[in-house]
């Protein structure tokens, strides 16, 4: 390991700290390490993917050596390494110690995590670490709007991103977010991402936190029906509709359930037959004939 090797890592770490997004691209390289900072506004850091393995090996060699164990050096090494391997638990634990010792500011670390989530939007380790940071930050300093926007971005960047929705659930419970406001935000998101079943799964979670009555279920079914008029072939909509029926099954009286089944079965005339709609109406017929006993709980 030479001084040039360490200089490279320091350069990378500094660039990561200044940039808002990182990309690994197959750029033309020479025999030396090549680091590209594209975009004059220092928004993007583009690293040659052909150099990635060498950079990772270099980080590990320093990290597990007896040298370069000062806080500032560990900060550099783990920052660069986590951009390459976000599931490196050793690096996360080191950064936790650095945060607790106040060698790293939580506000700056949250910004670093945002950069990582743009690079790896489905990484459970990154989201888990972000929750740890938020737990150690003063609640009055936490910008919930920014957290929700980050969840929206990661959920849109990676289809069916349950790691992002799990983080959102944690925000709801930890910060006591108003459910009705979140339902409105969720509906706007689903209008733009109609095929994402993970978003509908989150909506079912929100509904389950409310007092489930006929008005609530009918409103949800009506909103779902409005979307089905335009997207009748989307499985996510039919699965969510089925979920609503199952929620009603556990909370409605026998008379309310019979009325609901009757109204739902009438819809078969409105929607053209496709695989998902036929499966849904078969499901309703089974429920209506057996009172849904096999589906309870």
Q: Is residue 159 part of a domain?
A: no
Domain span at residue 256 reads 211-297
Position 26 confidence tier, pLDDT thresholds 50, 70, 90: confident
Position 127 pLDDT exceeds 90: yes
Residue, of 295 and 211, whose pLDDT is higher = 211
By DSSP bridging, strand 21-25 and strand 44-48 are parallel
pLDDT tens sequence across 147-163: 999 999 999 999 999 99
pLDDT of 29 over the 70 cut:
no
Read off the pLDDT band of 47 (50, 70, 90): confident
Check residues 258 and 30 and name the one with the higher pLDDT: 258
* pLDDT value, residue 41: 54
State yes or no: pLDDT of 1 exceeds 70: no
User: How much is the mean pLDDT over the chain?
Assistant: 89
Assign 180 a pLDDT band (cuts: 50, 70, 90): very high
Q: What is the side-by-side strand order in the sheet with 44-48?
A: 21-25, 44-48, 35-36
pLDDT at 21: 84
Q: Which of 50-59, 132-141, 205-214 shows the lowest per-residue confidence on average (mean pLDDT)?
A: 50-59
Is 88 part of any domain? yes
Query: Residue 79: inside a domain, yes or no?
Result: yes
Residue 60 pLDDT exceeds 90: yes
Residue 287 CA to residue 291 CA, distance in Å, equals: 5
User: What is the mean pLDDT of the segment spanning 234-245?
Assistant: 95
Of residues 234 and 273, which shows the higher confidence score? Answer: 234
297 band by pLDDT with thresholds 50, 70 and 90: very low
Grade residue 8 by pLDDT with cuts at 50, 70 and 90.
confident
Contact indicator for 93, 81 with CB cutoff of 8 Å: no
Residue 283 lies in a domain: yes
94, 127, 151 — which closes off a domain? 94
Instruction: Show which of 73, 94, 115 is a domain's final residue.
Output: 94
Global pTM reads 0.88
Query: Which of 15-29, 68-82, 282-296 has the highest average model confidence (pLDDT)?
Result: 68-82
**Rounded distance, CA 265 to CA 259, Å?**
10
In this structure, are residues 127 and 164 in contact, taking their beta carbons and an 8 Å threshold?
yes
Is residue 9 a contact partner of residue 105, using CB atoms and an 8 Å limit? no
Look at residue 71 and tell me if it is in a domain: yes
| Phi/psi at 48 (5° precision) | -65, 120
Asked if residue 154 is part of any domain, the answer here is no
Q: Which residue has the higher pLDDT, 118 or 28?
A: 118
pLDDT band at 5 (very low <50, low <70, confident <90, very high): confident
The total number of structural domains that make up the chain: 2
The widest CA-to-CA distance across the chain, in whole angstroms, is 79
pLDDT band at 11 (very low <50, low <70, confident <90, very high): confident
Last residue of a domain, one of 94, 110, 144: 94
Q: Judge whether 173 lies within some domain.
A: no
Looking at residue 20, what is its pLDDT? 83
Within a domain: 57 = yes
């Amino acid at each position: 390991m030479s001084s040039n090797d360490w200089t490279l890592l320091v350069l990378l770490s500094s660039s990561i700290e200044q940039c808002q997004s990182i990309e690994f691209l197959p750029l033309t390289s020479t025999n030396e390490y090549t680091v590209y900072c594209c975009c004059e506004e220092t928004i993007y850091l583009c690293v040659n993917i052909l150099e990635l393995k060498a950079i990772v090996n270099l980080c590990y060699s320093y990290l597990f050596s007896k040298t370069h164990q000062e806080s500032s050096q560990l900060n550099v090494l783990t920052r660069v390494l986590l951009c390459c391997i976000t599931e490196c638990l050793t690096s996360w634990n080191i950064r936790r110690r650095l945060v607790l010792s106040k060698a790293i500011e939580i506000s700056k670390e949250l910004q670093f995590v945002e950069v990582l989530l743009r690079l790896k939007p489905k990484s459970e380790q990154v989201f888990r670490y972000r929750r740890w940071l938020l737990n150690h930050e003063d609640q009055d300093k936490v910008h919930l709007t920014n957290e929700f926007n980050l969840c929206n971005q990661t959920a849109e960047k990676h289809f069916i991103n349950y790691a992002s929705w799990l983080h959102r659930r944690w925000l709801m419970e930890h910060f006591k977010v108003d459910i009705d406001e979140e339902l409105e935000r969720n509906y706007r998101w689903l209008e733009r991402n109609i095929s994402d079943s993970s978003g509908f799964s989150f909506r079912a979670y929100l509904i389950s936190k409310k007092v489930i009555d006929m008005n609530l279920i009918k409103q949800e079914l009506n909103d779902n029906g409005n979307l089905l008029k335009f997207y009748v072939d989307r499985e996510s909509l039919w699965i969510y509709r089925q979920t609503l029926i199952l929620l009603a099954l556990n909370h409605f009286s026998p008379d309310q359930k019979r009325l609901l089944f009757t109204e739902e079965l009438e819809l078969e005339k409105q929607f053209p037959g496709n695989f998902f709609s036929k499966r849904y109406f078969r499901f309703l017929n089974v429920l209506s004939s057996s009172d849904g006993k096999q589906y309870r709980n």
